[in-house]
A and B are shown apart, each in its own frame.
Chain A
Amino acid sequence: MKIAVLSDIHSNLEALQACLGHAEREGAAMHVFLGDLVGYGADPAACLGLLADYAAKGALLVRGNHDEAALGGLCENMNFVAREATYWTRKQLSSGARDFLASLPFAARRGDLFFLHASADAPEKWDYISSALQAGRCMDAAQASVTFAGHVHHQSLFFSAGSSVRAFQPVPGVAIPLGGRRRWLAIAGSVGQPRDGNNAAAYVLYDEERRLLTFFRVPYDHMTAARKIIEAGLPERLAWRLQRGE
């Protein structure tokens, strides 16, 4: 089965729809959403509605730090812009949407695959995986053949090699065979707010039978997403960063 793994959607409906359409054309039969469904973007309600439909059809979803923040609390560890967006997002959520977010687990497992938002060694701490060392800790904790994570908004692939861990910068659209004799950690990138200088939405597709992992970049109508952010009165910085992918 081909599994589409989408992370860090951040209430960006245009990007989410573009990725889902792309995944459908690629033959995805299952979907996993790695958290940060909301925050930053202008369409939290529409995104959650769409995602609830997928959940009802068997998709797996886990929670991210922005999903947690949208449910309440001071979010004092967030920067000003993220906090603004969080307060705005809270006002958009129905009680049904809040219940949906509150129901999300920190992690999900399917056979030898493990899914989570930040890092498996302490999912609730929302640590960023920015080094091979941290990737190694995450893979050790996940105890899975392939672990999928998000949180950092760019795509990368880590793998165990003997006692060390190596990082690889994937090429979009190239299927990578994941050998069974090592552990792999795929960082899916961000659907709704790419930050690597490329404004196309990012997600990954995993072919379970053939053990092939493909990182994709999907161009979408970021102008509309940006316009909606400005019209909603959210910080303008959130709009222009979509255009530049930073």
Chain B
Amino acid sequence: MESAEHLKPDTEIAGYRVQEKLREGGMAVLYRVAPPTGAEPCLLKVPQLGFGSHPACYAGFDVEQMILGRIAGPHVPRLFASGECDFGPYLVMEHLVGTSLAEFAARAPLPVEEVTRLGAALASAVHDLHRQQVVHHDLKPSHVILREGGQAAIIDFGLAIHAHLPDLVEAESDRPLGTPAYISPEQIAGVRGDPRSDVFALGVILYLLTTGRLPFGEPTGMGGLRRRLYFDPLPPRRIIHDLPEWLQEIILHCLEVRTEDRYATAALLAHDLRHPEQVALTERGRRTGPSGLVAVMKRWLATLTASPPARKAPTAHLALAPHVLVAVDTVYRGEALFHAMREAVRRTIADELHWRVSCVSVVEPSVLTEQEEGAEIMRGLHMQRLVELHHWAQPLGLPQERLRFHVLEGSDVSTRLIEYARASHVDHIIIGARGSSGLRRLLGSVSSRVAAEAPCTVTVVRSLDTTGMDA
């Protein structure tokens, strides 16, 4: 039996033929392999420890297999195959072509333009992960690859969490999970699953690219790790004197100890990096040493001087009582879309006082409707749709007296919805778009017809979760 560290060229695993060993990491060995059909070479990942190793060593493999199987897009490697061979688990994934961010980091300090370009690409990639329910927990330059087109891709999901899947690594260690230089304060405290932990690691990476130094060093013990909970890092402008204040502002904003003080999303961070002229400067950007109590007081006082609300026009008053129609195709199996639709409902009514939400579904009349049997089928179908509508709306957690449920009958779904909206003085229709297949474009979807012909505002909802794995 061969061990994982020494796979000879031409060894075959699940039809993939080993070409050469690329590198050895802490837990894994990577090989370039040729797929069974002569396409592009792929990457084979096997545990560094061989047969008989403690199963805990494999937890990261289980996690990576689980998560790569559920996420997609340009910012993550595709998973082609996974399974068990003689010496344990293996993963075959896309061999990403590009440059490791570690190579850029080795050249740091980098020019501001390069930092912002790399940082924005990375933050966008991280946001894409978050949109797909994943928190990475181990972002660092060696886990980022810059593709030739400028997009960032993220690798090594061994410590990651998917919000809908069990956390397999948490139980395997009693130490903080992450890389000491990049780990967030809450991860040190054992909190996992907050996307803002990744924002913190992005801050460390930006700090490193900008200054050539790590903001918290590379501590080895628990005491050294915890220092970042109490002490501010040295402001980057103390190291690079001509660094713009806005870049220091962005970096220190990421490195806030309290999660609620950081960027709420990586998308906002990416936006700031792409539009630095709009970054609101605070004390963080101008800081020349550790921040004191005075700065904290100033930030607190700023919240008290917010301007009072402006007077409203009559239409604004009407807008406080919107009738929202949400069109639900309960037969469609796509929880991500349904979730996005509920979010749209919540957002639409969030600031309003007297809203009403009608949940509406349309069923096609049975060809047998004329006969007694057909009528019976329709009654059953009607009942089932109604039950499903209630079920759909349940997670909204809205007061029942504000909700209405209607099952409409008709073979032309968009016409029925538009008729209903017109008759009920609906202010806002929320409808899901199920995709953009060629056939759908050709025939015209229900949502596009409703959007085109409805007498009111229409929100066409698309799910941001692009994995499509819920179906």
- Beta-carbon nearest neighbor of B62 in chain A: A179
**In the bound complex, do residue A220 and residue B387 qualify as a contact, i.e. CB atoms below 8 Å apart?**
yes
Question: How many whole Å from B278's CB to the nearest CB in chain A?
Answer: 37
Residues 90-109 (chain A) with a chain B CB within 8 angstroms: none
**In the bound complex, do residue A181 and residue B171 qualify as a contact, i.e. CB atoms below 8 Å apart?**
no
A180 within 8 A of B: yes
Set of chain B residues within 8 Å of A123, measured between Cβ atoms: none
**In the bound complex, do residue A182 and residue B69 qualify as a contact, i.e. CB atoms below 8 Å apart?**
no
What is the CA–CA distance of A182 and B66 in the complex, to the nearest angstrom? 14
Question: How many whole Å from B334's CB to the nearest CB in chain A?
Answer: 9
Set of chain A residues within 8 Å of B470, measured between Cβ atoms: 173-174
Question: How many whole Å from B396's CB to the nearest CB in chain A?
Answer: 13
**In the bound complex, do residue A198 and residue B166 qualify as a contact, i.e. CB atoms below 8 Å apart?**
no
Set of chain B residues within 8 Å of A179, measured between Cβ atoms: 62, 65-66, 168
A228 within 8 A of B: no
Known: A173-B470, A220-B387. A161 touches B59 (CB 8 A): yes
Residues 150-181 (chain A) with a chain B CB within 8 angstroms: 157, 159, 161-162, 164, 166, 168, 171-177, 179-181
**In the bound complex, do residue B65 and residue A177 qualify as a contact, i.e. CB atoms below 8 Å apart?**
yes
Taking a contact as CB atoms closer than 8 A, the residue among A159, A175, A182 that contacts B55 in the complex is A182
A121 within 8 A of B: no
What is the CA–CA distance of A171 and B391 in the complex, to the nearest angstrom? 15
Taking a contact as CB atoms closer than 8 A, the residue among B62, B165, B335 that contacts A181 in the complex is B62
Set of chain A residues within 8 Å of B167, measured between Cβ atoms: 166, 168
**In the bound complex, do residue B58 and residue A219 qualify as a contact, i.e. CB atoms below 8 Å apart?**
no
Question: How many whole Å from A221's CB to the nearest CB in chain B?
Answer: 6
- Beta-carbon nearest neighbor of A224 in chain B: B383
Taking a contact as CB atoms closer than 8 A, the residue among A159, A174, A177, A200 that contacts B391 in the complex is A200
B172 within 8 A of A: yes
Known: A174-B470, A177-B69, A221-B387. A162 touches B56 (CB 8 A): yes
What is the CA–CA distance of A177 and B82 in the complex, to the nearest angstrom? 12
Query: A211-225 toward B: CB 8 Å interface, digit per residue (1/0)?
Result: 000000101111000
What is the CA–CA distance of A142 and B383 in the complex, to the nearest angstrom? 42
B390 within 8 A of A: yes
Query: B70-107 toward A: CB 8 Å interface, digit per residue (1/0)?
Result: 00000000000000100001000000000000000000
Residues 387-435 (chain B) with a chain A CB within 8 angstroms: 387-388, 390-391, 394
**In the bound complex, do residue B55 and residue A181 qualify as a contact, i.e. CB atoms below 8 Å apart?**
yes
**In the bound complex, do residue B172 and residue A198 qualify as a contact, i.e. CB atoms below 8 Å apart?**
no
What is the CA–CA distance of A162 and B62 in the complex, to the nearest angstrom? 14
Set of chain B residues within 8 Å of A177, measured between Cβ atoms: 65-66, 69, 165
**In the bound complex, do residue B388 and residue A161 qualify as a contact, i.e. CB atoms below 8 Å apart?**
no
B164 within 8 A of A: yes
Residues 201-246 (chain A) with a chain B CB within 8 angstroms: 217, 219-222
**In the bound complex, do residue B58 and residue A181 qualify as a contact, i.e. CB atoms below 8 Å apart?**
yes
**In the bound complex, do residue A162 and residue B172 qualify as a contact, i.e. CB atoms below 8 Å apart?**
yes
Set of chain B residues within 8 Å of A198, measured between Cβ atoms: 394
Secondary structure type dominating chain B contacts: helix
Set of chain A residues within 8 Å of B384, measured between Cβ atoms: 221
What is the CA–CA distance of A177 and B64 in the complex, to the nearest angstrom? 11
- Beta-carbon nearest neighbor of A132 in chain B: B171
Set of chain A residues within 8 Å of B27, measured between Cβ atoms: none
Question: How many whole Å from B353's CB to the nearest CB in chain A?
Answer: 28
B194 within 8 A of A: no
- Beta-carbon nearest neighbor of B54 in chain A: A162
- Beta-carbon nearest neighbor of A172 in chain B: B335
Set of chain B residues within 8 Å of A176, measured between Cβ atoms: 66, 164-166
Set of chain B residues within 8 Å of A171, measured between Cβ atoms: 163-164
B469 within 8 A of A: yes
B232 within 8 A of A: no
Question: How many whole Å from A175's CB to the nearest CB in chain B?
Answer: 7
B170 within 8 A of A: yes
**In the bound complex, do residue B168 and residue A161 qualify as a contact, i.e. CB atoms below 8 Å apart?**
yes
- Beta-carbon nearest neighbor of B338 in chain A: A173
**In the bound complex, do residue B335 and residue A173 qualify as a contact, i.e. CB atoms below 8 Å apart?**
yes
Set of chain B residues within 8 Å of A164, measured between Cβ atoms: 171
**In the bound complex, do residue A166 and residue B171 qualify as a contact, i.e. CB atoms below 8 Å apart?**
yes
Question: How many whole Å from A131's CB to the nearest CB in chain B?
Answer: 15
**In the bound complex, do residue A166 and residue B383 qualify as a contact, i.e. CB atoms below 8 Å apart?**
no
What is the CA–CA distance of A193 and B168 in the complex, to the nearest angstrom? 31
Residues 42-90 (chain A) with a chain B CB within 8 angstroms: none
Known: A174-B164, A177-B65, A179-B66. A162 touches B394 (CB 8 A): no
- Beta-carbon nearest neighbor of B394 in chain A: A198
**In the bound complex, do residue B469 and residue A175 qualify as a contact, i.e. CB atoms below 8 Å apart?**
yes
Max count, chain A CB within 10 A of own CB: residue among B89, B166, B394: B166
- Beta-carbon nearest neighbor of A21 in chain B: B384
Known: A171-B164, A179-B66. A166 touches B84 (CB 8 A): no
Question: How many whole Å from B166's CB to the nearest CB in chain A?
Answer: 4
What is the CA–CA distance of A177 and B469 in the complex, to the nearest angstrom? 12
Question: How many whole Å from B54's CB to the nearest CB in chain A?
Answer: 8
Taking a contact as CB atoms closer than 8 A, the residue among A162, A173, A180, A182 that contacts B84 in the complex is A180
Can you add 13 more A-B contacts, CB < 8 Å, to A161-B172, A162-B171, A168-B167?
A157-B166, A159-B166, A161-B171, A162-B172, A173-B470, A174-B165, A176-B166, A180-B84, A181-B62, A182-B62, A219-B388, A221-B384, A221-B387
